[in-house]
Structure 1
Amino acid sequence: MDLAPDLARALAHSRYAQRLLAAEPRLADALAAGLNQPFGREAMIALLAERKLADEASLKAALRALRKQVYLRLIARDLLGLASLEEVMSTVTTLAEVCITHAAEHLDAWLAGIHGEPIGSESGVRQTLIVVAMGKLGGGELNVSSDVDLVYVYPEDGNTRGPRRVSNHEYFTRLGQKLSQALSDLTPEGYVFRVDTRLRPWGESGPLVTSLAALEAYFLAHGREWERYAWLKARPLTGDETQLMALVHPFVYRKYLDYDAIAALRGLHAQIRREVVRRDLADNIKLGPGGIREIEFVAQVFQLIRGGKDPLLKVRATRTALELLRTRRLLPDETVDDLQAAYAFLRRLEHRLQYLDDAQTHMLPASEEDRQLIAETMDCADWAQLLTRLDAHRARVEACFQAVFAEESRQATQEAALWAAETTRDEAIAQLAELGFKQPEAVWEALQRLRSSARYQSLPEASRARFDRLVPMMLRAAAGFPDPEATLARMLTLLETIARRRAYLALLVEYPASLTQLARVCSASPWAADYLTRHPVLLDELLDPAQLLEEPDWRALADALRAELGEGVDPERQMDVLRHFKHAWTFRILARDLEGRLPIEKLADELTALADLLLAEVLRLCWLGLPRRHREDARFAIIGYGKLGGREMGYASDLDIVFLYDDPAQAAQETYSRLAARINTWLTTLTPAGVLYETDLRLRPDGASGLLVSAIDAFRDYQEHHAWTWEHQALTRARYVAGDPAVGARFEAIRRDILCRRRDLAKLREDVLAMRDKMLKAHPNDSGLFDLKHDPGGLIDVEFMVQFLILAHAHRHGALADNVGNLALLKRAADAGLIAADAARQVQTAYRTYRRLQHNLRMKGASRARVPLAQVAEHVQAVTALWRALFGAPPANPLK
Structure 2
Amino acid sequence: MTSISSTPSCSATASRFVARWLQADKSRISELEDISRLSLSPSIFAEILQNKTNLGASLNSAMRRLRHLVISTLIVRDLNGLANLDEVVTTVSDFADFVVQTHLRALMADMVALHGQPIGEESGERQELIVIGMGKLGGRELNVSSDIDLIFCYSEDGETQTTSAEQRSLSNHEFFSRLGKKLIAAISEITEDGFSFRVDMALRPNGTSGPLVASFSMVEEYFLIQGREWERYAWVKARALTGIPEHIAALDKIIHPFIYRRYLDYGVIDSLRNMHAQIRAEVIRQETRHPERGNNVKLGRGGIREIEFLSQVFQLIRGGREIELRDRSTRLTLKVLAEKGILEPAIVSQLLESYAFLRNLEHRLQYLDDAQTHTFPAKEEDQQIIAQMMGCASTDDLLAQLAPCRKFVAEQFDAIFKDKTEKTEEDAITPALFEQLDKESIESQLASLGLHETKETAQRLISTWQSPRMQTLSEASRNKMLALINSALRMIAFQTTGQLSTLNRLLDFMEAIARRSAYLSLLTEYPRALQRVIRMMGSSDWAAKFLTRHPILLDELLDESVLHQMPDWAVFAKDLRQQLEQHRGDVERQMETLREMHHALLFRLLAQDLEGELSVEHLADALSQLADIMVEATVQGAWETIATRHCEKPKFAVIAYGKLGGKELGYASDLDVIFLYEDEHQDAPASYAKLAQRFITWMTSHTPAGILFDIDIALRPDGASGLMVSTVSSFLRYQEKSAWLWEHQALTRARFCAGDPSIGKQFDDIRTHVLTQKRDEMLLCTEVINMRKKMHDAHPNRTDLFDLKHDSGGMIDIEFMVQFLVLRNAHQYPELTANIGNIALLKRCGELGLIDAKMALDTANAYRVFRKFQHNIRLQGEDKARVPHEKIASELLATRGLWDSLFSKA
Task: Please classify the TM superposition score into its range, dividing by the shorter chain length.
Answer: over 0.9
Give yes or no for the alignment of 1:345 onto 2:357: yes
The one-letter code matched in structure 2 to 1:191 is F
Give yes or no for the alignment of 1:686 onto 2:670: no
Deviation at 1:32, TM superposition (A): 2.4
Deviation at 1:304, TM superposition (A): 0.7
Question: Could you say which residue in structure 1 is the equivalent of 2:296?
Answer: 284
Question: Could you say which residue in structure 2 is the equivalent of 1:421?
Answer: 433
CA pair 384-828 structure 1, distance change in 2 beyond 3 A: same
Question: Could you say which residue in structure 2 is the equivalent of 1:434?
Answer: 448
Q: CA-to-partner distance for each residue in 1:791-811, whole Å, 9 max, x for gaps?
A: 111111111111111111111
Question: Could you say which residue in structure 1 is the equivalent of 2:560?
Answer: 545
Deviation at 1:9, TM superposition (A): 4.5
Give yes or no for the alignment of 1:526 onto 2:541: yes
Q: How many percent identity over aligned positions?
A: 49
Deviation at 1:7, TM superposition (A): 7.9
State the SS of the aligned residue for 2:465. Answer: helix
Question: Could you say which residue in structure 2 is the equivalent of 1:732?
Answer: 748
State the SS of the aligned residue for 1:160. Answer: strand
State the SS of the aligned residue for 1:639. Answer: strand
The one-letter code matched in structure 2 to 1:224 is R
Q: CA-to-partner distance for each residue in 1:322-373, whole Å, 9 max, x for gaps?
A: 1111122221223212211111110111111111111101001222222222
CA distance in 1, matches of 2:508, 2:580: 33
In 2, are the aligned partners of 1:16 and 1:358 still within 8 Å (CA)? yes
CA distance in 1, matches of 2:391, 2:501: 62
CA distance in 2, matches of 1:113, 1:844: 89
In 2, are the aligned partners of 1:419 and 1:447 still within 8 Å (CA)? no
Question: Could you say which residue in structure 1 is the equivalent of 2:126?
Answer: 126
The one-letter code matched in structure 2 to 1:21 is L
CA pair 13-799 structure 1, distance change in 2 beyond 3 A: same
Question: Could you say which residue in structure 2 is the equivalent of 1:357?
Answer: 369
Question: Could you say which residue in structure 2 is the equivalent of 1:894?
Answer: none
Out of 470, 487, 509, the position equivalent to 1:456 is 470
Question: Could you say which residue in structure 1 is the equivalent of 2:206?
Answer: 202
The one-letter code matched in structure 2 to 1:487 is T
Out of 597, 602, 610, the position equivalent to 1:586 is 602
Out of 247, 260, 274, the position equivalent to 1:253 is 260
Deviation at 1:544, TM superposition (A): 1.7
CA distance in 1, matches of 2:125, 2:590: 35
Out of 663, 680, 684, the position equivalent to 1:647 is 663
In 1, are the aligned partners of 2:617 and 2:664 still within 8 Å (CA)? yes
Once the two structures are superposed, the pairs formed by residues 364-763 of structure 1 within 5 Å of their partners are 364-411=376-423, 413-418=425-430, 420-421=432-433, 425-481=439-495, 482-567=497-582, 568-763=584-779
In 1, are the aligned partners of 2:429 and 2:445 still within 8 Å (CA)? no
Deviation at 1:125, TM superposition (A): 2.7
CA distance in 1, matches of 2:775, 2:226: 77
Question: Could you say which residue in structure 2 is the equivalent of 1:144?
Answer: 144
CA distance in 2, matches of 1:85, 1:461: 47
Deviation at 1:64, TM superposition (A): 1.2
CA distance in 2, matches of 1:628, 1:129: 41
The one-letter code matched in structure 1 to 2:20 is R
CA pair 818-168 structure 1, distance change in 2 beyond 3 A: same
Question: Could you say which residue in structure 1 is the equivalent of 2:327?
Answer: 315
In 1, are the aligned partners of 2:119 and 2:127 still within 8 Å (CA)? yes
In 1, are the aligned partners of 2:428 and 2:446 still within 8 Å (CA)? no
Deviation at 1:421, TM superposition (A): 0.4
Question: Could you say which residue in structure 2 is the equivalent of 1:216?
Answer: 220
Deviation at 1:69, TM superposition (A): 2.1
State the SS of the aligned residue for 2:527. Answer: coil
CA distance in 2, matches of 1:459, 1:367: 55
In 2, are the aligned partners of 1:120 and 1:158 still within 8 Å (CA)? yes
CA pair 20-54 structure 1, distance change in 2 beyond 3 A: closer
The one-letter code matched in structure 2 to 1:346 is L
CA distance in 1, matches of 2:693, 2:884: 44
Question: Could you say which residue in structure 2 is the equivalent of 1:893?
Answer: none
Give yes or no for the alignment of 1:177 onto 2:181: yes
Question: Could you say which residue in structure 1 is the equivalent of 2:290?
Answer: none
Deviation at 1:616, TM superposition (A): 0.5
In 2, are the aligned partners of 1:312 and 1:564 still within 8 Å (CA)? no
Question: Could you say which residue in structure 1 is the equivalent of 2:153?
Answer: 153
Deviation at 1:166, TM superposition (A): 2.2
- Mean Cα deviation higher: 216-225 or 361-370: 361-370
CA pair 731-76 structure 1, distance change in 2 beyond 3 A: same
In 1, are the aligned partners of 2:12 and 2:72 still within 8 Å (CA)? no
In 2, are the aligned partners of 1:436 and 1:484 still within 8 Å (CA)? no
The one-letter code matched in structure 1 to 2:499 is P
- Mean Cα deviation higher: 67-76 or 96-105: 67-76
CA distance in 2, matches of 1:721, 1:64: 88
Q: CA-to-partner distance for each residue in 1:55-110, whole Å, 9 max, x for gaps?
A: 9x811112112212222221111111111211111000000001110110001101
The one-letter code matched in structure 1 to 2:206 is W
State the SS of the aligned residue for 1:421. Answer: helix
Question: Could you say which residue in structure 2 is the equivalent of 1:839?
Answer: 855
In 2, are the aligned partners of 1:619 and 1:739 still within 8 Å (CA)? yes
Q: CA-to-partner distance for each residue in 1:139-159, whole Å, 9 max, x for gaps?
A: 010011111000011222222
CA distance in 2, matches of 1:451, 1:201: 39
CA distance in 1, matches of 2:800, 2:439: 44
In 2, are the aligned partners of 1:7 and 1:80 still within 8 Å (CA)? no
Out of 214, 235, 239, the position equivalent to 1:235 is 239
Give ranges in structure 1 of 5+ residues lacking alignment. Answer: 891-896
CA pair 8-263 structure 1, distance change in 2 beyond 3 A: closer
Deviation at 1:418, TM superposition (A): 4.4
Deviation at 1:452, TM superposition (A): 2.4
Q: CA-to-partner distance for each residue in 1:599-618, whole Å, 9 max, x for gaps?
A: 11110011011101110100
The one-letter code matched in structure 1 to 2:791 is M
CA distance in 1, matches of 2:109, 2:428: 66
Alignment RMSD (CA, Å):
1.8
In 2, are the aligned partners of 1:801 and 1:883 still within 8 Å (CA)? yes
State the SS of the aligned residue for 1:152. Answer: strand
Deviation at 1:724, TM superposition (A): 0.8
In 2, are the aligned partners of 1:419 and 1:471 still within 8 Å (CA)? no
Q: CA-to-partner distance for each residue in 1:366-407, whole Å, 9 max, x for gaps?
A: 222222222222222322221122111111111111111122
In 2, are the aligned partners of 1:260 and 1:502 still within 8 Å (CA)? yes
Give yes or no for the alignment of 1:820 onto 2:836: yes
Question: Could you say which residue in structure 2 is the equivalent of 1:773?
Answer: 789
Q: CA-to-partner distance for each residue in 1:619-670, whole Å, 9 max, x for gaps?
A: 0011111121122221100000001011110000000000000111222111
CA distance in 1, matches of 2:186, 2:59: 7
CA pair 283-2 structure 1, distance change in 2 beyond 3 A: closer
State the SS of the aligned residue for 1:150. Answer: strand
In 2, are the aligned partners of 1:477 and 1:515 still within 8 Å (CA)? no
Deviation at 1:314, TM superposition (A): 1.1
Deviation at 1:178, TM superposition (A): 1.2
Deviation at 1:569, TM superposition (A): 3.3
The one-letter code matched in structure 2 to 1:369 is E
Give TM-score, length-normalised by structure 2.
Answer: 0.96
Give the paired residue count: 889
Deviation at 1:836, TM superposition (A): 1.9
Give ranges in structure 2 of 5+ residues lacking alignment. Answer: 288-292
In 1, are the aligned partners of 2:553 and 2:600 still within 8 Å (CA)? yes
Deviation at 1:461, TM superposition (A): 3.2
Deviation at 1:414, TM superposition (A): 3.9
Deviation at 1:847, TM superposition (A): 1.0
In 2, are the aligned partners of 1:282 and 1:289 still within 8 Å (CA)? no
CA distance in 1, matches of 2:188, 2:14: 26
Deviation at 1:832, TM superposition (A): 1.4
CA distance in 2, matches of 1:2, 1:816: 84
State the SS of the aligned residue for 2:101. Answer: helix
Q: CA-to-partner distance for each residue in 1:95-142, whole Å, 9 max, x for gaps?
A: 000111011000110122222222222222321100000000000100
The one-letter code matched in structure 2 to 1:267 is N
